[in-house]
Chain A
Amino acid sequence: MPETHAETVLEFEDVLLQFPEGDRPALDGISFALSAGHSCVIMGAAGSGKTVLLKTAVGLLKPDAGRVHLFGEEITGMTEKELFHLRAKVGILFQEGGLFDSLTIEENVAYPLVNQPGAHYPPEEVHRRVVEALRLVELERTLDKFPSELSGGMRRRVGIARANVTEPPLVLYDSPTAGLDPITAHTIMGFIIKERDTKNTTTVMVTHRYQDGNLLAKYRYNQVTGRLERATSGAGAAGPPTRFMVLRQGKLVFEGTQQELEASADSYVRKFLRSVGG
């Protein structure tokens, strides 16, 4: 529920992060700012620091230098307990789904509703919200199943439902389509766009596929027809502004709009766009 669209939701200031076992920084001088209601696509090859960047954004990893602001609060010096309150405003889909194998799908999706600080819902309300969240990804019939009984694509969809069940204003997706076939990947992207446009969330998506970024930037979910449609510049039909960023070996080598990305002369960026076929 962003009051003003100018509000900065996430900001990195010259962030540096080095793992003890790494020979170069995983994040090297990253700076950017993301406004409420905007979408952001972060692209890069494997090992370029995409996942590290997302984990740093919510304080799961601490940078060695620089500052990270989440909802205007500086999180680098925060304790884990203080972070819990801020993380309650962020939904995350992990690369592998991050579903708990010992819990059913219902318990998995209900987890943030039951465990996040300040979230004390009665059981029937939790159940209602879980069913509603799963309905949005068309999996409301899998409540009693365990994650191991679902396919890879379905697990990602459950992950999307769990990330959005508390209706957080910011949602982070870590490679939501990695390792999936093109048809399932397209379906997953459809659900991400649907979540974004029905709840007006600020969305950050990490991916190595330009097609996914293209879909997020060019398509919107029409709540009246219930379908995805190409965003136009007409009133009410335009999707949220989308920024693109490209990471290379921990460094931000590009930041800008889709037009700027496609016009970029940088050989790494060009190779990226070409190899995945825009």
Chain B
Amino acid sequence: MLDFLKPPVLAFQEFFLLAGRAFRNIFRKPHYFDDISLQMDLIGVGSLPIVALTGFFTGAIMALQMSRALNQYGAASTVGQIVSISLVREMGPVLSALLVAGRNASGIASELGSMKVTEQIDAMRALGTDPIQKLVTPRLIAMCIVLPLLVVIADFIGMIGGYLVACPLLKLTTATQYWSSAWRALEYNDIAQGLLKPFVFAVVISLVGCFYGIRTTGGTQGVGLATTRAVVVSSVWIFVLTFFIGKLFVSL
């Protein structure tokens, strides 16, 4: 029984050790600003089209699906409110994070995994560089900066998607009513929650990707396994954490 529990407990401990060292390195020299901006470009600019597209259709689908129910209750004018609240609180952060996890947790894990199996990480340590400082911390910082920005963009484009369905297409409400109800519906609580979530998800995605990448063993097959695990584990954690953060804000 204990032998069965040992590997996951050990992995959990190693993950937190890695996380601790990655965070501590944020305040320690040397800082690899080039790597940070490179990663921001890869994660942020690289994910922008797909995140924007998903955001757009999320808003559009939400307006579309809500239209019947809202019409039934004569509440079609509140469509802007529903789209904005669900996008900002939940759909924007979770869907963007899932896309970025699929795209970048896998990318990070496979890149670091290949470096591990070709002894580049050992070479880095042998040549005077801390791999956590050089590889993990820049990815962590870059992800924490760009994911909240991506979510803000996705939220806004999602509202445009909702507007296009609600106003020109289904004529549920007027443009002024849509945008004013969308705007008025948002409270500080929603915005805080909508920005805290991507920040937490960014930490999870980058560290899980790095963690599985850095502990890759067993050649190219190991790299494939690390990539899959990074995506699955980070996606599951996104769902678990969004529930707990949501719970925290509901009780506030």
- Residues on A close to B: CB < 8 A? 55, 58, 60, 80-81, 84, 87-88, 90, 92, 94-101, 111-112, 115-117, 119, 162
Q: Please, which residue of chain B has its CB at the minimum distance from the CB of A55?
A: B122
29 contacts between A and B (CB under 8 A): A55-B122, A58-B126, A60-B125, A60-B126, A80-B125, A84-B128, A87-B125, A87-B127, A87-B128, A88-B128, A94-B122, A94-B126, A95-B119, A98-B118, A98-B119, A98-B123, A99-B120, A99-B123, A100-B120, A100-B123, A101-B120, A111-B127, A112-B128, A115-B127, A115-B128, A115-B129, A116-B127, A117-B128, A119-B128
Q: State in angstroms the CA–CA spacing of A55 and B121 once bound together.
A: 12
Q: Please, which residue of chain B has its CB at the minimum distance from the CB of A80?
A: B130
Give me the 4 closest cross-chain CB pairs, A-B, nearest first: A98-B123, A116-B128, A98-B119, A94-B119
Most central of B123, B125, B126 by chain A CB within 10 Å: B126
Contact in complex: A90, B126 (CB < 8 Å) = yes
Shortest Cβ gap from B153 to chain A (Å): 28
Contact in complex: B127, A96 (CB < 8 Å) = no
Shortest Cβ gap from A212 to chain B (Å): 20
Q: Please, which residue of chain B has its CB at the minimum distance from the CB of A174?
A: B119
Residues in A neighbouring B126, C-beta threshold 8 A: 58, 60, 87, 90, 92, 94, 98
Q: State in angstroms the CA–CA spacing of A87 and B124 once bound together.
A: 11
Q: State in angstroms the CA–CA spacing of A117 and B133 once bound together.
A: 15
Considering only residues 113-158 of chain B, those with a C-beta below 8 Å from chain A are 115, 118-120, 122-130
Contact in complex: B129, A60 (CB < 8 Å) = no
Q: State in angstroms the CA–CA spacing of A100 and B123 once bound together.
A: 9
Shortest Cβ gap from A111 to chain B (Å): 5
Contact in complex: B122, A98 (CB < 8 Å) = yes
Residues in B neighbouring A60, C-beta threshold 8 A: 122, 125-126
- Residues on B close to A: CB < 8 A? 115, 118-120, 122-130
Residues in A neighbouring B118, C-beta threshold 8 A: 96-98, 101
Taking a contact as CB atoms closer than 8 A, the residue among A58, A88, A98, A162 that contacts B120 in the complex is A98
Most central of B118, B119, B123 by chain A CB within 10 Å: B123
Q: What would 4 more interface pairs be, CB under 8 Å, given A58-B126, A96-B119? A: A92-B126, A98-B119, A98-B122, A100-B115
Shortest Cβ gap from B3 to chain A (Å): 11
Shortest Cβ gap from A101 to chain B (Å): 7
Q: Please, which residue of chain A has its CB at the minimum distance from the CB of B128?
A: A116
Shortest Cβ gap from A171 to chain B (Å): 12
Q: State in angstroms the CA–CA spacing of A125 and B128 once bound together.
A: 19
Q: State in angstroms the CA–CA spacing of A97 and B118 once bound together.
A: 8
Residues in A neighbouring B125, C-beta threshold 8 A: 60, 80, 87
Q: Please, which residue of chain A has its CB at the minimum distance from the CB of B117?
A: A96
Q: State in angstroms the CA–CA spacing of A233 and B127 once bound together.
A: 37
Shortest Cβ gap from B203 to chain A (Å): 23
Residues in A neighbouring B123, C-beta threshold 8 A: 92, 94, 98-100
Most central of B127, B129, B130 by chain A CB within 10 Å: B127
Shortest Cβ gap from B217 to chain A (Å): 8
Shortest Cβ gap from A157 to chain B (Å): 16
Shortest Cβ gap from A10 to chain B (Å): 15
Shortest Cβ gap from B22 to chain A (Å): 14
Q: Please, which residue of chain A has its CB at the minimum distance from the CB of B21?
A: A80
Shortest Cβ gap from A70 to chain B (Å): 12
Shortest Cβ gap from B120 to chain A (Å): 6
Q: State in angstroms the CA–CA spacing of A98 and B124 once bound together.
A: 9
Residues in A neighbouring B119, C-beta threshold 8 A: 94-98
Q: Please, which residue of chain A has its CB at the minimum distance from the CB of B127?
A: A112
Residues in B neighbouring A100, C-beta threshold 8 A: 115, 120, 123-124
Q: State in angstroms the CA–CA spacing of A92 and B123 once bound together.
A: 8
Q: State in angstroms the CA–CA spacing of A115 and B133 once bound together.
A: 12
Residues in B neighbouring A99, C-beta threshold 8 A: 120, 123
Residues in A neighbouring B130, C-beta threshold 8 A: 80-81
Shortest Cβ gap from B243 to chain A (Å): 34
Shortest Cβ gap from B119 to chain A (Å): 4
Shortest Cβ gap from A115 to chain B (Å): 5
Q: State in angstroms the CA–CA spacing of A81 and B126 once bound together.
A: 11
Shortest Cβ gap from A54 to chain B (Å): 10
Residues in A neighbouring B115, C-beta threshold 8 A: 100
Residues in B neighbouring A111, C-beta threshold 8 A: 127
Q: State in angstroms the CA–CA spacing of A90 and B126 once bound together.
A: 8
Q: Please, which residue of chain A has its CB at the minimum distance from the CB of B131?
A: A80
Residues in B neighbouring A95, C-beta threshold 8 A: 119
Q: Please, which residue of chain B has its CB at the minimum distance from the CB of A172?
A: B126
Residues in B neighbouring A94, C-beta threshold 8 A: 119, 122-123, 126
